[in-house]
Structure 1
Amino acid sequence: MTRHFNTGGVCLPSVHYMLPPERRLPEVRGLVDQMAYFILHAPRQVGKTTALTAMARSLTEEGRYAAVLVSMEVGAPHGDDIGAAEDAILEAWRTSIEVALPPELHPPPWPEASPGFRIHSALHAWAKASPRPLVLFLDEIDALRDQTLLAVLRQLRDGHRLRPTGFPWSLALVGLRDVRDYKVASGGSELLHTASPFNIKVRSLTMRSFTEPEVAELYDQHSVETGQRFEPAAVALVFALSRGQPWLVNALAYVATTELRPDRAETITGSDVGRARDLIVERQETHLDSLAERLRDPRVRAVIEPMILGDQLASASPDDLRFVLDLGLVVQSSDGAIEIANPIYREIVMRSLTTYVRASLPRLAPSWLGESGAIDWTRLREVFVAFWLQNGEALLGSSPYNEAAAHLVLMAFLHRIVNGGGRVDRELAIGSKRLDLCVEYRGDRLGVEVKTWRDSDKRADPADAGVDQLDEYLASIGTKRAWLVRFDQRSGQPELPERLKLEEVTTARGNAVTKILL
Structure 2
Amino acid sequence: MPKWFNTAGPCKPDIHYMLSATDRLPEIKQLIAQENYFVIHAPRQVGKTTAMLALAQELTASGQYTAVMLSLEVGAVFSHDPKLAGRAILDEWQDAIKFYLPPELHPSHRILGESGRHIGAFLAAWTQESSRPLVVFLDEIDALSDETLVSVLRQIRSGFPRRPKGFPQSVALVGMRDVRDYKYASGGSDRLNTSSPFNIKVRSFTLSNFTLEDVRNLYQQHTDATGQIFTPEAVDLAFHLTQGQPWLVNAIAKEIVEYITKDPAIPITADLVNEAKEILIKRQDTHLDSLAERLREDRVRAIIQPILSGLELGDTPDDDRRYLLDLGLVVRSQEGGLKIANPIYQEVIPRGLSQGVQDSLPMIQPSWLNPDGSLNAQVLLEAFLKFWRQHGEPLFKSANYPEIAPHLVMMAFLHRVVNVNGSLEREYAIGSGKMDICLRYGKQTLAMELKVWADKRPDPLKEGLPQIDKYLSGLSLDTGWLVIFDRRSGLPPLSDRTTTENVISPAGREIIVIRG
TM range (shorter): over 0.9
Matched with 1:281 is 281
Distance 1:169 1:500 in 2: 69
Per-residue displacement from partner, 1:445-469 (whole Å, max 9, x unpaired)?
12211111122xx331112210111
User: Which position in structure 2 is the counterpart of 1:426?
Assistant: 426
Please give the alpha-carbon distance, in whole angstroms, between the structure 2 residues aligned to 1:188 and 1:24. 38
SS where residue 184 of structure 1 aligns?
Answer: strand
Instruction: Give the alignment of 1:35-184 within 5 angstroms.
Output: 35-108=35-108, 109-110=110-111, 118-184=118-184
Deviation, structure 1 residue 239:
1.1
Decide whether the 8 Å contact of 2:94 with 2:112 is kept in 1.
no
Query: How many Å separate the matches in 1 of 2:31 and 2:355?
Result: 46
Which residue of structure 1 lines up, in the alignment, with residue 513 of structure 2? 515
Indicate the residue corresponding to 1:248 in structure 2. 248
The match for 1:203 is: 203
- Compare 162-171 and 187-196 and name the one that shifted more: 187-196
SS at match of 2:167: coil
Which residue is equivalent to 1:489? Answer: 487
Check whether the contact 1:501–1:516 (CA below 8 A) recurs between aligned residues.
Answer: yes
AA partner of residue 485 (structure 1): V
Superposed counterparts of 1:342-381, under 5 Å: 342-381=342-381
Contact 1:306 1:430 in 2 (8 A): yes
Q: Are 2:389 and 2:496, in contact at CA under 8 Å, matched by a contact in 1?
A: no
Select which of 468, 491, 500 maps to 2:466.
468
Q: CA deviation at 1:371?
A: 3.9
Larger mean CA deviation between 308-317 and 65-74 belongs to 308-317
Distance in 2 of aligned mates of 1:497 and 1:333: 40
CA–CA distance in structure 1, aligned partners of residues 9 and 446 of structure 2: 41
Shift of 1:258: 0.5
* Residue 228 (structure 1) aligned with residue 209 (structure 2): no
Point out the more displaced range, 20-29 or 368-377.
368-377
Q: CA deviation at 1:475?
A: 2.2
Equivalent-residue separation in structure 2 for 1:363 and 1:187 (angstroms): 50
In structure 2, stretches of 5+ residues that fail to align are none
How far is the alpha carbon of 1:476 from its aligned partner?
2.4
Q: Any conservation in 2 of the 1:182–1:192 contact (CA below 8 Å)?
A: yes
Matched, 1:7 2:14: no
> Could you say which residue in structure 2 is the equivalent of 1:439?
439
Question: Could you tell me which residue of structure 1 aligns to residue 238 of structure 2?
Answer: 238
Identity of aligned residues (%): 51
State the Cα deviation string for residues 464-503 of structure 1 (Å, max 9, x = none).
2101111222222332221110111111223334433312
Deviation at 1:364, TM superposition (A): 2.0
Aligned-partner SS, 1:451 = strand
**Distance (whole Å) between structure 2 residues aligned to residue 188 and residue 415 of structure 1:** 42
Shift of 1:49: 0.8
| Aligned-partner SS, 1:197 | coil
**Residue deviations 1:263-315 (CA, integer Å, cap 9, x gap):** 22222222221221122222211111111111111111111111111112225
C-alpha distance after superposition, 1:73-125 (max 9, x if no partner) = 1110112111111111111112111111111211123379897x701110110
Contact 1:146-1:188 at 8 Å conserved across structures: no
SS of aligned partner of 2:417: helix
Taking structure 2 as the reference length, the TM-score comes to 0.96
**SS at structure 1 position matched to 2:70:** strand
Tell which deviates more after alignment, 219-228 or 121-130: 219-228
State the 1:360 CA deviation.
1.6
Count of residue correspondences: 515
Match of 2:308 in 1: 308
Measured in 1, the distance between the counterparts of 2:461 and 2:414 equals: 20
- What letter corresponds to residue 267 of structure 2 in structure 1? T
Distance 1:188 1:324 in 2: 21
Q: Is residue 481 of structure 2 the alignment partner of residue 480 of structure 1?
A: no
Alpha-carbon distance between aligned partners in 1 of 2:164 and 2:308, rounded to the nearest angstrom: 52
Aligned residue for 2:163, secondary structure, equals coil
Secondary structure of residue in 1 paired with 2:128: helix
Stretches (4+) displaced over 4 A: 111-115, 186-189
Distance 1:365 1:24 in 2: 52
**Which is worse superposed, 255-264 or 279-288?**
279-288
Q: Distance in 1 between matches of 2:474 and 2:197?
A: 51
Q: 1:217 to 1:111 in 2, by over 3 A?
A: closer
Aligned-partner Cα distance in 2 for 1:215–1:503 = 48
Counterpart code for 2:9: G
Q: Is the 8 A contact 1:302 1:315 kept in 2?
A: no
What is the rounded CA distance, in whole Å, between the counterparts of 2:112 and 2:232 in structure 1? 58
Cα 1:6–1:114 change in 2 (3 A) is closer
The aligned counterpart of 1:329 is 329
Amino acid across the alignment from 1:398: S
Instruction: Measure the CA separation in 1 of the matches of 2:478 and 2:182.
Output: 50
C-alpha RMSD of the superposition = 1.7
CA distance in 2, matches of 1:64, 1:403: 57
Q: Deviations over 1:309-364 (max 9, x none)?
A: 11122253222211111111111124321111112112221121111211221222
How far apart in 1 are the matches of 2:4 and 2:306? 40
Q: Is contact 2:392–2:494 with CA below 8 Å preserved after alignment?
A: no
Mapped to 2, the partners of 1:25 and 1:179 lie a distance apart of 19
SS in 1 for 2:512: strand
